[in-house]
Homo-oligomer: A and B are copies of this chain.
Amino acid sequence: MIKRMLCLFSVLVIATSAIVVQAAADPLPSWNDNAPKKAILTFVKKITTEDSPEFVRPSERIAVFDNDGTLWSEQPMYFQLAFALDQVKALAPKHPEWKEKQPFKAALEGDLKTVFSGGEHALLELVMASHAGNTTEEFERIVTDWTSTAKHPRFNRLFTDCVFQPMLELLSYLRANGFKTWIVSGGGIEFMRPWVEKIYGIPPEQVIGSSIKTKFEIRDGKPVLVRLPKIDFIDDKAEKPVGIHKFIGRRPIAAFGNSDGDLQMLQWTAAGKGARFCLYVHHTDAEREWAYDRKSPIGRLDEGLDEARAKSWTVVDMKQDWKRVFPFDR
């Protein structure tokens, strides 16, 4: 027993030294020393200091992150739409009628203008055709195959490489300070779950997103969940606080977004008692990423920018505040 305990001690010595060294290093090296970085560090310090009046016990340290435009890029189109278009192409041989039927015809011809001209209804048709009709296990395999092969058109990298290095550091930093980090995205919950643990360190059970209905069936004696072409939940705008309440059941103390679609999530977070932290990522860097806000059809940030200023929320100016955007940037 003594020997086993001594052995445990050596492990602990090593572990402890590692922690001490890490604490001394900058936890957010890809952030310039501007106001947003300072605001993050100040907030985390005050809610983790035990004798601070603003101390928050670990179980209440819930941080929620939008995904598209907040943790990874969302240009030139939502990555999930690129996935849907690729899926429509892959499924086309089984659907000869798509050659003559919109929006499939346009999708197959790569004519995005016509696809978008069909509005939300056309996009919904594409998503349903590409996301439903299989089992949850089959869909997971399809997503995993796609994310490990498909490349972003501008960067020629896997889409899962086009994530923001400063946000990866922020996720780790919050977790090292006792936070549970959650994704609250308008994107499909099953489109994110297969890869978020590896890329963001966020387990699948901490992902909230849009979903279609599933149905339990026994097929050849084996239970399966079949994905149905019916909307279950659209996790956007005023539905984000609804999703947070449904899945988490407590109010976050920190929220991170980049568009008007995240505004209610930030409002809901800000309205809780005690210290709160709300942050918007403002896309201002056309050179390294993209620059867009009030008039963008994707990730519009208009009302949210006004409210952030009125309420003194933190706004990240990507160009000024981030030393590095992507992990592949040097």
Stretch at the interface among A4-12, A44-52, A100-108, A286-294: A4-12
In the complex, what distance in Å separates the CA atom of A214 from the CA atom of B59? 24
> Main secondary structure on chain A at its contact with chain B?
helix
> What 1/0 mask marks residues of chain A from 193 to 235 whose CB sits below 8 Å from any chain B CB?
1000100000111010001011110100011010000001000
Inter-chain contact A216/B242, CB cutoff 8 Å = yes
Inter-chain contact B211/A246, CB cutoff 8 Å = yes
Distance of A312 from chain B, by nearest CB (Å): 16
Inter-chain contact B8/A264, CB cutoff 8 Å = no
Interface size on A, residues (CB 8 A): 46
A4 — which chain B residues lie within 8 A by C-beta? 20
Smallest CB-CB separation from A238: which chain B residue?
A: B216
Q: Check: A284 CB closer than 8 A to any chain B CB.
A: no
Contacts A12-B16, A204-B249, A249-B207 hold; do A59 and B225 have CB atoms under 8 A apart? no
Q: Check: A267 CB closer than 8 A to any chain B CB.
A: yes
State the oligomeric state as a number of copies.
Answer: 2
Contacts A180-B205, A267-B223 hold; do A214 and B16 have CB atoms under 8 A apart? no
A267 — which chain B residues lie within 8 A by C-beta? 218, 223
Inter-chain contact B12/A271, CB cutoff 8 Å = no
In the complex, what distance in Å separates the CA atom of A322 from the CA atom of B239? 45
In the complex, what distance in Å separates the CA atom of A268 from the CA atom of B137? 13
A249 — which chain B residues lie within 8 A by C-beta? 189-190, 193, 204-205, 207
In the complex, what distance in Å separates the CA atom of A193 from the CA atom of B250? 9
Inter-chain contact B211/A225, CB cutoff 8 Å = no
Distance of A289 from chain B, by nearest CB (Å): 29
Q: Check: A241 CB closer than 8 A to any chain B CB.
A: yes
Inter-chain contact B214/A242, CB cutoff 8 Å = yes
A5 — which chain B residues lie within 8 A by C-beta? 16-17, 20
Q: Check: A245 CB closer than 8 A to any chain B CB.
A: yes
Inter-chain contact B223/A264, CB cutoff 8 Å = yes
In the complex, what distance in Å separates the CA atom of A232 from the CA atom of B239? 13
Contacts A9-B16, A189-B249 hold; do A242 and B215 have CB atoms under 8 A apart? yes
Smallest CB-CB separation from A140: which chain B residue?
A: B249
In the complex, what distance in Å separates the CA atom of A248 from the CA atom of B249? 14
Q: Check: A25 CB closer than 8 A to any chain B CB.
A: no
- Partner of A250 from B59, B204, B213 at Cβ < 8 Å: B204
| Interface CB pairs A-B, < 8 A, 10 | A4-B20, A5-B16, A190-B249, A204-B248, A204-B249, A207-B249, A213-B242, A214-B242, A218-B267, A223-B267
Closest 10 CB pairs of A and B: A204-B249, A216-B238, A193-B249, A205-B248, A216-B241, A223-B267, A223-B271, A12-B12, A223-B268, A214-B242
